[in-house]
Amino acid sequence: MSSCQRLADIIGGEVITAAPVCLVQRLRNIDATILGRRTRSPLALPFALSFENNRNGRTLNLGETVILQKEINPFLSALRKRGIIITAVHNHWLFDEPRLMYMHWENVGDPFVFARNSYEAAKEVGLL
């Protein structure tokens, strides 16, 4: 089994691409509409992680998830408790219901630790 597949398995997701960067994703279960139309788009409902090795063997680890406003502070705190840097909270869409926000987080280090910490933080606060 590939490293990328093992990372996808940690979050209960799937490999979107394994090269040149490993990107794994699962969809959040949010009943959402954009412009009055129901959406299940991976652009709207992602919980996604990417992993990119550099020359010194340390991995750049990035995360993004759709998040409801009431979930922002608990998830932000759960990630920070695990030493993960939160880099952005913003919207993507207009005329969405409920209001869909997006959070990004990052670190450099072991990709398996990052995946486990990201997943555990999400589970802890009820995102997944």
pTM of the model: 0.95
Query: Roughly how many angstroms between the first and final C-alpha of the chain, as a whole number?
Result: 24
Give the whole-number percent of the chain exceeding pLDDT 90: 94
Burial class (CB in 10 A: 0-12, 13-18, 19+), 13: buried
Beta strand 100-109 with 59-68 is antiparallel
With cut-offs at 50, 70 and 90, classify the pLDDT of residue 58: confident
The Cα 73–Cα 65 span in angstroms is 14
Ranges of each domain in the chain: 3-124
Closest alpha carbon to 72 in 89, 87, 84, 85:
89
- Residue 104 token pair: 């990004």
Beta bridge partners of 123: none
**Per-residue model confidence as pLDDT tens digits over 69-96:** 999 999 999 999 999 999 999 999 999 9
